[in-house]
């Protein structure tokens, strides 16, 4: 049995759904992380402080929270693939338009619209994959999908390293419009989730038969997430995700700046090309973290795997902020990324296994993106603390967030091996 032998056990439709969601997530990462990678020259040209730059990152995350909730509802109502295509078009278009901005207000507008698409892609893509794959391979499928983020981040680092010295940051953002072409392939080749189709047919029947139980949608779907014993689970999952998102964005939004800003500004002082190579090395660790979490979660359970990764991240992330020696940072970076990001592979499977089909997209979008609302302050908090107390103290806050996330698992049940309802 080979590492990816499970891939052959999926149907052709399931494999295409996984490829579509993974490509969408990869290109999402590519577009979103361009901002973090070109932040120093953007700050210089637009005259932004660290706090203002952090605020721009927070605006995108707030918009992503709204986008995830809205596109989650859209995916439950109109289908997973339609929601996926709409979100990809949205974030691609406004990444490209960022190249034309001339002031902070125009830049902020593009970041908000980009964020809406970013949040929507994950909610629809994760639900599509979860519903196409069986329980014994769902964790591995979600791990492979999530690992595409590291690939997209790595591609962004390569593009910035090559394009930024030639065209400046505007040319980098102009390239971000290319993911829109993925929509053409999704429309032609990716089948809708059979579970969603069955749920949609039940809605038609219910609409014709007044005596039938009416399916939930909109605000009723959100209220159902807090009904009965699910209220404690929904709150715990949302809080856990808020803490992990705070830690992830607080660190990753500022790592490129931490590495490239001069020592007088609290950074390490690497060149743009060297910084890009350091970030690329971290994406290698991130990719392995995402992929292996899927396997580990399918074997020892979601809860144990999550807690192990989160506790390791709570120690490694602050340590990274205290170090200044480039060779040590280069060696530690992949391990920081491995534990500080790999757990995300489990979130899509966990949420899919906790909630039924008729509200699954809503649950994915709500619990992930309401948590993102709380975490949206992370780029601003880290940026502000880096200005006043230095990056070491700022990154220590991210470690505390991961520790709180691990504690939240006391109220989240194990779901490994659970077939979808």
Structure tokens at 329: 């940072």
Q: What angle in degrees, to the nearest 10, is found between the helix axes of 326-341 and 302-322?
A: 160
Q: Quick check: is 91 in a domain?
A: yes
Residue 246 belongs to some domain of the structure:
yes
pLDDT value at 314 more than 90: yes
Is residue 2 domain-resident? no
In tens, the pLDDT along 218-254 reads: 677 788 888 888 899 999 999 999 999 898 888 877 8
- Give yes or no for residue 51 having a pLDDT over 70: yes
How far is the C-alpha of 20 from the C-alpha of 162, rounded, in Å?
27
Within a domain: residue 219? yes
In-domain check, residue 419: no
Picking from 362-371, 380-389, 409-418, which range would have the lowest pLDDT averaged per residue? 362-371
User: Across the chain, how many H-helices and E-strands are there?
Assistant: 19, 0
> Token pair for residue 45?
């040209």
For residues 369 and 64, the answer to whether their CB atoms sit within 8 Å is: yes
pLDDT band of residue 19 (cuts 50, 70, 90) is very high
Q: Whole-angstrom Cα distance, residue 94 to residue 201? A: 35
pLDDT digits (tens, 9 = 90+) for 333-350: 999 999 999 998 888 788
CATH number, position 356: 1.20.1250.20
Task: Share the mean pLDDT of the chain.
Answer: 86
CB 367 within 8 A of CB 222: no
Instruction: Render pLDDT for 89-124 as a digit per residue (tens, 0 to 9).
Output: 999 999 999 999 999 999 999 999 998 988 888 778
Does residue 1 fall inside a structural domain? no
pLDDT at 271 over 90: no
Output the pLDDT for position 339. Answer: 95
Burial of residue 208 (CB within 10 Å: 0-12, 13-18, 19+) is exposed
Within a domain: residue 416? Answer: no
292 vs 210, more confident: 292
- For the entire predicted model, the pTM comes to 0.77
Residue range(s) defining the domain that contains residue 297: 13-203+215-411
CB 179 within 8 A of CB 92: yes
Mean pLDDT confidence for 49-56: 85
Query: What does the DSSP assignment read for 22-87?
Result: HHHHHHHHHHHHHHHHTHHHHHHHHT--HHHHHHHHHHHHHHHHHHHHHHHHHHHHH-HHHHHHHH
Which one, of 35, 318, 267, 68, lies nearest residue 156 by Cα?
A: 35
Q: How many domains does the chain have?
A: 1
- Pair of tokens at residue 369: 């993106």
Q: Does 211 have pLDDT greater than 60?
A: no
Residue 56: C-alpha distances to residues 127, 247, 416 (Å): 29, 17, 38
Q: State the pLDDT at residue 303.
A: 93
Grade residue 217 by pLDDT with cuts at 50, 70 and 90: low
Please indicate, yes or no, if residue 127 is contained in any of the structural domains. Answer: yes
pLDDT mean over 138-148 = 86
Q: Give the pLDDT band (50/70/90) at residue 272.
A: confident
């Amino acid at each position: 049995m080979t590492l990816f032998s499970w891939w052959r056990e999926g149907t052709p439709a399931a494999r295409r759904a996984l490829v579509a969601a993974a490509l969408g997530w990869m290109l999402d990462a590519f577009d979103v992380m361009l901002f973090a990678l070109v932040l120093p020259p953007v700050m210089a040209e637009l005259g932004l402080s660290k706090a203002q730059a952090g605020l721009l990152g927070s605006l995108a995350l707030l918009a992503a929270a709204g986008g995830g909730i809205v596109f989650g509802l859209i995916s439950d109502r109109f289908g997973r693939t339609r929601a996926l295509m709409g979100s990809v078009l949205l974030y691609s278009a406004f990444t490209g338009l960022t190249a034309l901005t001339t002031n902070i207000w125009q830049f902020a507008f593009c970041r908000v619209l980009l964020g809406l698409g970013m949040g929507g892609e994950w909610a629809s893509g994760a639900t599509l994959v979860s519903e196409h794959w069986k329980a014994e391979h769902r964790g591995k499928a979600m791990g492979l999908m999530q690992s595409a983020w590291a690939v997209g981040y790595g591609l962004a680092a390569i593009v910035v390293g090559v394009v930024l010295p030639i065209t400046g940051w505007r040319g980098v953002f102009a390239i971000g419009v290319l993911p829109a072409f993925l929509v053409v392939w999704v429309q032609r080749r990716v089948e809708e989730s059979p579970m969603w189709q069955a749920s949609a047919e039940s809605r038609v029947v219910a609409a014709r038969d007044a005596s039938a139980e009416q399916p939930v949608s909109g605000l009723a779907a959100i209220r159902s997430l807090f009904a009965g014993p699910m209220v404690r689970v929904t709150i715990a999952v949302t809080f856990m995700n808020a803490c992990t998102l705070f830690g992830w964005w607080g660190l990753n939004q500022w790592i490129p700046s931490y590495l490239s800003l001069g020592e007088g500004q609290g950074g390490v002082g690497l060149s743009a090309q060297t910084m890009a190579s350091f970030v690329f090395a971290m994406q290698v660790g991130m990719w392995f973290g995402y992929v292996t979490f899927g396997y580990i979660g399918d074997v020892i359970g979601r809860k144990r795997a999550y807690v192990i990764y989160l506790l390791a991240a709570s120690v490694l992330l602050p340590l990274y902020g205290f170090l200044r020696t480039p060779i040590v940072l280069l060696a530690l970076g992949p391990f920081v990324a491995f534990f500080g990001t790999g757990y995300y592979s489990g979130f899509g499977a966990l949420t899919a296994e906790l909630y039924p089909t008729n509200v699954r997209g809503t649950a994915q979008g709500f619990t992930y993106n309401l948590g993102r609302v709380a975490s949206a302050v992370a780029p601003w908090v880290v940026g502000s603390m880096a200005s006043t107390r230095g990056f070491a103290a700022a990154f220590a806050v991210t470690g505390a967030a991961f520790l709180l996330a691990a504690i939240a698992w006391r109220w989240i049940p194990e779901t490994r091996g659970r077939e979808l309802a």
